[in-house]
């Protein structure tokens, strides 16, 4: 019937859809460095404006598409009117005599009647009344125009039609003509009487009010009654007379209870009698007591220090302090205990006037007329006046504020459970420091690597070692990380400049799972032998993929990837086919992205401003984060461009982790600070926490949905935080420190080096410089 209604909602942020092939077919060799030349660190606002312009362009296209109306959507009224006219001409005129009887042919003329009979589309008769043309003396001279009878249908349905509805006779009400801009300007300048500026939604004409309606609106706005003749304070109508009648209103006989004593009143009287007998209530007061009370009422007491002179209306005026009221020792007839003895008098006379506690000694006189004048009165008044003149008083408005009330009200840690509190299991077996620790995706085993060059796998709950391999006798194992998918059981470890990919074997691993893991690691060798990995002539490849040797292959180590410098960090992509490594001393090749299915290694940066410290993939979007000493850069792997530069403000960044939701970031630094970043809010930290006395080594979010995160420090402690990220973007994250875990010893100024969370439970494991691994529950 009408055009479609299209709701247009402005999207706050356009999220790039996930692509299954965000890495496939992309050559990252040095491509991410080109985006930094065109990116300004302080141009986050310009970037947001570009996004808005792009989104605005897409919306304008939608508007153009919606504005086009197909010709089939507008029905033709000309053909319909001709067809109805032909039907009416062919049909004979009929007349209805009785209900239920077939109509007969009309024989009489309807010229004298005020209606005419027509046929509708179904062939039924319809009475059409002539429109009334009111004259001057007609009662209907103020009648309004035709009333729109479209019912509850919105008027916007008629936007594409020349009419806006139908009257009571079914005729179309045409849309009123709109004037030009000049006429609108004149109408706005010359305001007619009763003009409101409102358009009637049913007719489209300007809605003007009469003088009575304007007066009614004025009275309603002023809070008056709508009717001027109505009395707001009418006289009270007395429904009951106030004249006492002599005759009773009821002729009923008196009830029996009026002639019998009340039992309740008898009980109250007995209580009073019993109290009088016991002496608790005296029926009358003794004469001496009554006389004493009467004398006390007649006495008049005066307050000598009550009346003061009126103070000046100056707000800074401070009245002089009052003298203390006189005590008993100033009386002319003090009690005996206030009079000094001979020894006290001699002692008072020996003291200097400035050292005396009082300037006088109490004395006793027989009558007030015998009291001599105060010999030091003038001196005392002079000294008091000098004190008031030389020591002016200053008004200081002091605020009595409780310091505890200024602190933010945080929930109690007992309300934020569960979180780890005690050390459940201690794993011992490494020689020297344990540098890295990781729990597998199933949550059954934990892997660790240390200075002894060995990788060990332990049962998480029992602490029993179930598998180990010696990777190097000279280099320490700096990082161990599990492949994040549950369909495989693959562990990556970095020792020196070698990265080892292995499949630990023990009875809890199913044969099918072990075989699937081995097949994934072996698939890349076929890709490499087919010659699909191209290397420029005379250029050394960024990494060499090879088998580690028969001895390590028998123990489960299947691939060795050799890069140019020592690897410190390993970070897996969420799908498990790619992982990134960071070598802080590698300069240009410090960051490398490895593809497991192709045995391919790429260097995404030709140059990198600063030394790379760590890197990580976004948990849900094709973004890649790289941290240098001072900043963290975010790159889009699909568009191959720099997206954001996060500036924590730390002197040296040591580690960072991304929240599973993807919108928040925590950063640890060697200058003892833990920083929380809201990526949607700003590139500056939202919260800075300084709870450690030494450098922070590792930070981790809980990946299993629990609002927990933790950090480790060289002071030997692990601090657990409750960090809840609300779904509402208007609310801020709730960050509450809940527990400090102590147990690791500090060895050579190194404490806890790494930690990891259980994938489901509120448990965590930590690796310390004291050679132990601890499970905290």
Each residue of 354-377: pLDDT tens digit?
888 888 889 899 898 888 887 788
Would you state the pLDDT for residue 510?
85
Region at 746 (left for phi over 0; alpha for psi -120 to 50; beta for the rest): beta
Would you state the pLDDT for residue 115?
77
Question: In the predicted model, what is the mean pLDDT of residues 9-16?
Answer: 40
Specify if 373 maps to a domain: no
Would you state the pLDDT for residue 315?
63
Q: Which of 187, 212, 232 is the last residue of a domain?
A: 232
The residue with greater pLDDT, 769 or 587, is: 769
589 and 719, same domain (yes or no): yes
Q: What percent of the chain has pLDDT over 90?
A: 34
70 and 217, same domain (yes or no): no
Would you state the pLDDT for residue 633?
93
Kindly report the three-state secondary structure assignment for every residue of 227-277.
CCCCCCCCCCCCCCCCCCCCCCCCCCCCCHHHCCCCHHHHHHHHHHHHHHH
The residue with greater pLDDT, 244 or 116, is: 116
Would you state the pLDDT for residue 411?
82
DSSP output for 566-588: ---EEEE-TTSSEEEEE-TT-GG
The residue with greater pLDDT, 248 or 245, is: 245
Q: Which class for 329: exposed (0-12), middle (13-18), buried (19 or more C-beta within 10 A)?
A: middle
- Residue 260 pLDDT > 80: yes
Distance, CA of 623 to CA of 616 (rounded, Å): 9
84 and 219, same domain (yes or no): no
* Among 184, 188, 161, residue whose Cα is nearest residue 172: 161
Would you state the pLDDT for residue 539?
73
The sheet with strand 734-742 has its strands ordered as: 696-701, 708-713, 717-724, 734-742
- Residue 72 pLDDT > 80: no
Give the number of domains in the chain: 3
Question: In the predicted model, what is the mean pLDDT of residues 225-229?
Answer: 82
Tokens linked to 175: 């849309």
Distances (CA, A) of 775 to 19, 203, 454, 481, 714: 38, 78, 20, 17, 18
Specify if 140 maps to a domain: no
- Residue 690 pLDDT > 60: yes
User: How much is the mean pLDDT over the chain?
Assistant: 79
- Residue 716 pLDDT > 60: yes
Specify if 555 maps to a domain: yes
- Residue 195 pLDDT > 50: yes
Specify if 237 maps to a domain: no
Query: What are the tens digits of pLDDT across the range 726-739?
Result: 887 778 888 999 99
Q: What is the pairing mode between strands 772-776 and 764-768?
A: antiparallel
Specify if 585 maps to a domain: yes
Highest mean predicted confidence (pLDDT) among 377-386, 527-536, 747-756: 747-756
Distances (CA, A) of 473 to 81, 315, 451, 496, 710: 100, 84, 9, 11, 32
Neighbours of 435 (CB within 10 A): 24
Would you state the pLDDT for residue 88?
42
Place 75 in a pLDDT band, splitting at 50, 70 and 90: very low
3-class SS of residue 292:
helix
C-alpha count within 13 angstroms, C-beta hemisphere, residue 513 = 15
- Residue 660 pLDDT > 50: yes
Highest mean predicted confidence (pLDDT) among 111-120, 340-349, 730-739: 340-349
Would you state the pLDDT for residue 187?
63
646 and 726, same domain (yes or no): yes
Would you state the pLDDT for residue 296?
84
Would you state the pLDDT for residue 208?
79
Query: What are the tens digits of pLDDT across the range 304-322?
Result: 666 666 656 666 667 777 7
Would you state the pLDDT for residue 334?
92
Distance, CA of 768 to CA of 191 (rounded, Å): 85
Weakest-pLDDT range from 124-138, 161-175, 374-388, 590-604: 124-138
CATH code for the domain in which residue 613 is found = 2.130.10.10
DSSP output for 585-651: T-GGGSEEEEETTTTEEE---S--SS---EEEE-SSSSEEEEE-SS-EEEEETTTTEEEEEE----S
Would you state the pLDDT for residue 269?
93
- Residue 78 pLDDT > 60: no
Specify if 484 maps to a domain: yes
Specify if 413 maps to a domain: no
Distance, CA of 514 to CA of 692 (rounded, Å): 42
Would you state the pLDDT for residue 756?
95
Would you state the pLDDT for residue 69?
35
588 and 647, same domain (yes or no): yes
Question: In the predicted model, what is the mean pLDDT of residues 45-71?
Answer: 42
Backbone φ and ψ of 582, nearest 5°: -125, 125
- Asked if 650 and 667 count as a contact pair (C-beta separation under 8 A), the reply is yes
Q: Which of 215, 232, 249 is the last residue of a domain?
A: 232
Would you state the pLDDT for residue 43?
42
What domain range includes position 162? Answer: 146-232
Distances (CA, A) of 257 to 253, 262, 298, 567: 12, 8, 50, 106
Place 230 in a pLDDT band, splitting at 50, 70 and 90: confident
Specify if 764 maps to a domain: yes
157 and 90, same domain (yes or no): no
Distance, CA of 658 to CA of 151 (rounded, Å): 57
Place 400 in a pLDDT band, splitting at 50, 70 and 90: confident
- Residue 416 pLDDT > 90: no
441 and 513, same domain (yes or no): yes
Would you state the pLDDT for residue 259?
84
Would you state the pLDDT for residue 81?
46
Q: What percent of the chain has pLDDT over 70?
A: 76
Highest mean predicted confidence (pLDDT) among 210-214, 310-314, 650-654: 650-654
Distance, CA of 107 to CA of 100 (rounded, Å): 20
Would you state the pLDDT for residue 112?
47
Query: What are the tens digits of pLDDT across the range 740-763?
Result: 999 999 999 999 999 999 999 999
- Residue 501 pLDDT > 90: yes
Place 22 in a pLDDT band, splitting at 50, 70 and 90: low
Question: In the predicted model, what is the mean pLDDT of residues 191-208?
Answer: 71
Would you state the pLDDT for residue 522?
87
Would you state the pLDDT for residue 61?
42
Would you state the pLDDT for residue 67?
39
Q: Which of 213, 232, 251 is the last residue of a domain?
A: 232
Would you state the pLDDT for residue 585?
85
Distance, CA of 694 to CA of 333 (rounded, Å): 75
Region at 223 (left for phi over 0; alpha for psi -120 to 50; beta for the rest): left
Query: What are the tens digits of pLDDT across the range 581-631?
Result: 999 887 788 899 999 988 989 898 888 888 899 999 999 999 999 999 999
- Residue 459 pLDDT > 60: yes
225 and 89, same domain (yes or no): no
Kindly report the three-state secondary structure assignment for every residue of 161-175.
CCEEEECCCCCEEEC
DSSP letter at 137 equals T
The residue with greater pLDDT, 274 or 127, is: 274
Highest mean predicted confidence (pLDDT) among 196-205, 277-286, 436-445, 507-516: 436-445
644 and 718, same domain (yes or no): yes
504 and 583, same domain (yes or no): yes
Place 559 in a pLDDT band, splitting at 50, 70 and 90: very high
Q: Name every residue whose Cβ is closer than 8 Å to that of residue 64 and which is 6 or more positions away in sequence.
A: none
164 and 49, same domain (yes or no): no
Would you state the pLDDT for residue 568?
93
User: What residues does 166 pair with on adjacent strands?
Assistant: 172
572 and 629, same domain (yes or no): yes
Distance, CA of 618 to CA of 633 (rounded, Å): 12
């Amino acid at each position: 019937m009408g055009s479609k209604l299209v709701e247009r909602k402005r999207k706050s942020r356009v999220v790039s859809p996930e692509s299954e092939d965000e890495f496939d077919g992309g050559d990252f060799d040095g491509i991410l460095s080109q985006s930094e030349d065109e990116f300004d660190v302080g141009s986050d606002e310009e970037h947001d404006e570009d996004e808005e312009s792009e989104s605005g362009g897409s919306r304008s296209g939608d508007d153009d598409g919606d504005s086009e109306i197909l010709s089939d959507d507008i029905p033709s009224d000309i053909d319909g009117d001709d067809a109805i006219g032909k039907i009416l001409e062919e049909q004979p005129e009929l007349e209805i005599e009785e209900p239920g009887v077939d109509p007969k042919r009309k024989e009489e003329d309807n010229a004298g009647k005020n209606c005419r009979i027509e046929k509708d589309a179904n062939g039924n008769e319809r009475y059409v009344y002539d429109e009334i043309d009111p004259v001057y003396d007609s009662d209907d001279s103020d009648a309004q125009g035709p009333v729109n009878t479209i019912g509850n249908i919105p008027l916007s349905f008629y936007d594409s039609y020349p009419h806006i509805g139908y009257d009571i006779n079914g005729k179309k009400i045409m849309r009123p003509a709109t004037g030009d801009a000049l006429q609108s300007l004149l109408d706005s300048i010359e305001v007619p009487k009763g003009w409101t500026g409102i358009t009637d939604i049913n007719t489209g004409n300007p809605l003007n009010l009469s003088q009575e309606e304007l007066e009614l609106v004025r009275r309603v706005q002023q809070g008056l009654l709508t009717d001027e003749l109505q009395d707001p304070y009418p006289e009270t109508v007395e429904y009951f007379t106030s004249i006492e009648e002599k005759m009773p209103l009821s002729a009923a006989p008196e009830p029996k209870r009026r002639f019998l004593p009340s039992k309740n009143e008898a009980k109250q009287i007995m209580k009073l009698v019993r109290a009088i007998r016991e002496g608790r209530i005296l029926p009358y007061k003794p004469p001496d007591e009554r006389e004493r009370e009467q004398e006390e009422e007649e006495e008049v007491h005066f307050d000598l220090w009550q009346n003061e002179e009126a103070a000046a209306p100056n707000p800074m005026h401070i009245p002089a302090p009052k003298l203390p009221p006189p005590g008993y020792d100033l009386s002319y007839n003090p009690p005996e205990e206030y009079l000094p003895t001979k020894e006290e008098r001699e002692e008072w006379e020996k003291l200097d006037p400035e050292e005396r506690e009082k300037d006088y000694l109490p004395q006793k006189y027989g009558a007030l007329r015998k009291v001599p004048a105060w010999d030091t009165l003038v001196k005392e008044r002079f000294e008091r006046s000098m004190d008031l003149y030389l020591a002016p008083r200053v008004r200081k408005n002091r605020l009595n504020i409780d310091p505890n009330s200024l602190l933010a009200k945080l929930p109690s840690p007992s309300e934020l459970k569960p979180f780890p509190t005690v050390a459940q299991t201690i794993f011992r077996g490494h020689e020297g420091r344990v540098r890295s620790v990781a729990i597998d995706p199933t949550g059954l085993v934990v892997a660790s690597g240390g200075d002894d060059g060995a990788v060990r796998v332990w049962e998480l709950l029992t602490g029993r070692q179930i598998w180990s391999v010696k990777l190097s006798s000279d280099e320490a194992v700096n990082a161990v990380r599990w492949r994040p998918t549950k369909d495989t059981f693959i562990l990556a470890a970095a020792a020196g400049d070698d990265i080892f990919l292995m499949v630990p074997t023990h009875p809890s691993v199913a044969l099918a799972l072990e075989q699937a893991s081995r097949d994934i690691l072996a698939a890349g060798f076929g890709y490499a032998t087919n010659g699909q990995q191209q290397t420029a002539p005379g250029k050394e490849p960024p990494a060499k993929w090879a088998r580690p040797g028969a001895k390590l292959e028998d123990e489960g180590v299947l691939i060795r990837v050799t890069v140019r410098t020592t690897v410190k960090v390993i970070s897996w992509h969420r799908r498990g086919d790619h992982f990134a490594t960071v070598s802080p001393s590698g300069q240009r090749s410090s960051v490398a992205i490895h593809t497991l299915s192709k045995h391919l290694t790429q260097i995404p940066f030709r140059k990198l401003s600063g030394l790379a410290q760590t890197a990580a993939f976004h948990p849900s979007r094709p973004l890649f984060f790289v941290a240098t000493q001072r900043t963290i850069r975010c790159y889009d792997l699909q568009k191959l461009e720099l997206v954001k530069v996060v500036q924590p403000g730390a002197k040296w960044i040591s580690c960072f982790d991304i929240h599973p939701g993807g919108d928040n970031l925590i950063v640890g630094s060697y200058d003892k600070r833990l920083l929380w970043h809201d990526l949607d809010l700003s590139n500056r930290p939202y919260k800075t926490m300084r709870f450690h006395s030494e450098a922070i080594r590792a930070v981790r979010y809980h990946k299993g949905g629990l609002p927990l995160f933790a950090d480790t420090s060289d002071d030997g402690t692990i601090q657990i935080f409750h960090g809840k990220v609300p779904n509402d973007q208007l609310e801020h994250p709730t960050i509450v420190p809940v527990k400090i875990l102590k147990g690791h010893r500090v060895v050579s100024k190194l404490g806890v080096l790494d930690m990891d969370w259980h994938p489901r439970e509120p448990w965590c494991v930590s690796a310390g410089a004291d050679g132990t691994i601890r499970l905290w529950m």
